[in-house]
Chain A
Amino acid sequence: MDPSQGILEIKDIYKDFSGLEVLTGVTFSVKNGERHAVIGPNGAGKTTLFNIISGKYKPSTGAIIFKGRDVSKKQPHVLNQRGMSRSFQITNLFQELTVLENVRAGVRCRQGLRYSFFKRPEHNRVVAEKTEQILELVGLADVMHEPVSALSYGRQRALEIGITLSTEPELILLDEPTAGMTREETAEAIRMIDRVTRGKTLVIIEHDMDVVFSLADRISVLHYGAILASGAPQEIRNDQRVKDAYLGEEE
């Protein structure tokens, strides 16, 4: 792959739901190793954009280029196998299972242990080691045998990120990882996200401006279904259109 080219190129994406236009021509690109934040007010289409990138929805027109190939018609599981993994704004876990089993589900998939009638994932050493690494990384090793439903909300959010990382993605998509957290939980979550995504390619949707400016190398502002501006944090901070449309409200 040409290193100067983006790992992810969003090209003129339109999306309408039976007439309701949610995205009206979104274009931006994410370079390898970059941490890219997508911000915008409620209803700007951020989660719809994520659903299109990750294959949940198909764009009405436009293309998603991932690692140089058009993937806009691919299924979520294919995109995951090609190296893209996403988290969910509303916690989306295996509630009845243990923390360990949750993370192992992703790890073993990456190791090719998906549909075997003979191999047992619990007896695989590589799977066990990698699962433990991820649990350590997101700080859940102490509760690995607890069922998810027994975890606090903050720790469930950490597990959400842990599962997202469990398939060893080249591109990590985080959809509002701090949604619904208290201020303390948010601060801790940001430190953790910073730690686990350092040197990796990340696209993050976020409301909290502190999170965005402390984490992102680049920021794209989504406004009424289109990109209003895209650039380094300092440029976005000083961009008059962004100020008018979005940041201005908070100053």
Chain B
Amino acid sequence: MKGLNTRVYLWGVLLVVLLIVVPLLFPRYQIALMTEVIIFSLFAVSYNLLLGYAGLLSFGHAMFFGTGAYAVAVILNHFQGIPILLAILAATLVTVVVGFLVGSLLLRHKGAYFALLTLAFNALFFAVATKWYSMTGGDDGLSVWRPDLNIGVTILNMTNVKVFYFFTLIIVGLVILFCWYFTTTAMGKTILLMRENEERMKFLGYNTNISRLILFTFTGALAGCAGAFYALFFQFTSISAISIDMTTTVLLMTFIGGTGSFGGPILGALVFTYLQDFLSDITDRWPIIMGIIFVVMVLYVPGGLSGLIASIRERFGTGNVTGTLETEGDD
């Protein structure tokens, strides 16, 4: 077990070094793409806490992502001089409230009913974003301006691509780290046990409806935080952030990466973002190619890329499965 931990830490250190060093060597465009990957990683990780850990298939995760994106835009446009971190925090709190309200209406439902209700709510949110012109700008969207960050000793210019990259890396990175920690906490274990056997959990003294509501609100808030960064990244919020397409994007990222491990969705976000970037460069018909890749993945690699890596390692006997943090794994 000691050897395994050491290897995980080594990989972790290597990853952090890469994330710090690489942007200093690459052009602006690549740095921007990496920023996008980090933001989508959080979105996908939050989605996987629902899908992989709790076994809840939601078709409405974009409603929180979009709410976070719109909230940060509205807050920055209406409160001049608000610090950037406070704006992100406030936008996240807005999604906490929204997640709690939507979640309270959904908490008794599971399976297909849950999936369809989340889809319906997403459609409702999309309709509101389209029609509530005075607040959201409708089809025109909202521009977002990134305020500078005052860290005491100096003032950081957020419009600089590198500065914004490191800002995103640190804040979003910490949130993702907390998500990982969360999977080992009492609540994280409770949702895992509920997926395995919800009835037994009730008879062991757990309020499973409240647990589901807490989880739904929490993952909504994480998605909202990712959405806020997304709006800041593009310096723009449009209805695409709250559309069903955005839900499909996060679903595919999570699925491609694999729902069976914590790191899977991060890998999925990376592969999806770069693949999209690469394909859209060579052809206008890139969505068709993406579509075919996803169909093949879903049909032949149901465990996603992380599942594929794990099974290759197992087959060639390079020891225990280290890189992936098994959803089920405990000790």
The 5 A-B residue pairs with the shortest CB-CB distance, nearest first, are A80-B205, A116-B186, A113-B186, A94-B196, A76-B202
Q: Does A117 contact B (CB under 8 A)?
A: yes
Q: Does B203 contact A (CB under 8 A)?
A: yes
A-facing residues in B191-205 (Cβ within 8 Å): 193, 196-197, 199-205
Q: Does A201 contact B (CB under 8 A)?
A: no
Determine the residue in chain B with the shortest Cβ distance to A115.
B187
Q: Does B184 contact A (CB under 8 A)?
A: yes
A131-B215 Cα distance, complex, nearest whole Å: 26
User: Is A85 in contact with B203, judged by CB distance below 8 angstroms?
Assistant: yes
Q: Does A118 contact B (CB under 8 A)?
A: yes
Closest CB in chain A relative to B132 CB, distance in Å? 33
Interface flags for A44-80 (1: CB within 8 Å of B; 0: not) read 0000000000100000000000000000000111001
User: Is A120 in contact with B184, judged by CB distance below 8 angstroms?
Assistant: yes
User: Is A77 in contact with B202, judged by CB distance below 8 angstroms?
Assistant: yes
Point out residues on B near A: beta carbons under 8 Å. 182, 184-187, 189-190, 193, 196-197, 199-208, 210-211, 214, 218, 328, 330-331
Q: Does A142 contact B (CB under 8 A)?
A: no
A94-B196 Cα distance, complex, nearest whole Å: 6
Closest CB in chain B relative to A120 CB, distance in Å? 5
Contacts A115-B186, A117-B187; is A109 near B196 (CB within 8 Å)? Answer: no
For residue B208, which residues in chain A have a CB less than 8 angstroms away from its CB?
77
Q: Does A183 contact B (CB under 8 A)?
A: no
Point out the residue from A75, A85, A101, A119 that lies within 8 Å of B186, measured CB to CB: A119
Point out the residue from A97, A109, A163 that lies within 8 Å of B330, measured CB to CB: A97
Interface residues on A, range: 35 or more
Contacts A116-B186, A116-B187; is A77 near B196 (CB within 8 Å)? Answer: no
Determine the residue in chain A with the shortest Cβ distance to B178.
A117
Closest CB in chain A relative to B192 CB, distance in Å? 8
Contacts A92-B197, A95-B196, A121-B186; is A115 near B203 (CB within 8 Å)? Answer: no
Q: Does A188 contact B (CB under 8 A)?
A: no
Point out the residue from A77, A122, A145 that lies within 8 Å of B184, measured CB to CB: A122
Point out the residue from A94, A96, A115 that lies within 8 Å of B200, measured CB to CB: A94
For residue A81, which residues in chain B have a CB less than 8 angstroms away from its CB?
205
User: Is A98 in contact with B330, judged by CB distance below 8 angstroms?
Assistant: yes
User: Is A80 in contact with B193, judged by CB distance below 8 angstroms?
Assistant: no
Q: Does A15 contact B (CB under 8 A)?
A: no
26 contacts between A and B (CB under 8 A): A75-B202, A77-B207, A80-B203, A80-B204, A80-B205, A81-B205, A85-B203, A92-B199, A94-B196, A96-B196, A96-B328, A98-B330, A100-B330, A101-B193, A101-B330, A106-B204, A109-B205, A113-B186, A114-B186, A114-B205, A114-B207, A120-B185, A122-B330, A163-B204, A166-B204, A167-B205
User: Is A105 in contact with B202, judged by CB distance below 8 angstroms?
Assistant: no
Q: Does A110 contact B (CB under 8 A)?
A: yes
For residue A109, which residues in chain B have a CB less than 8 angstroms away from its CB?
204-206
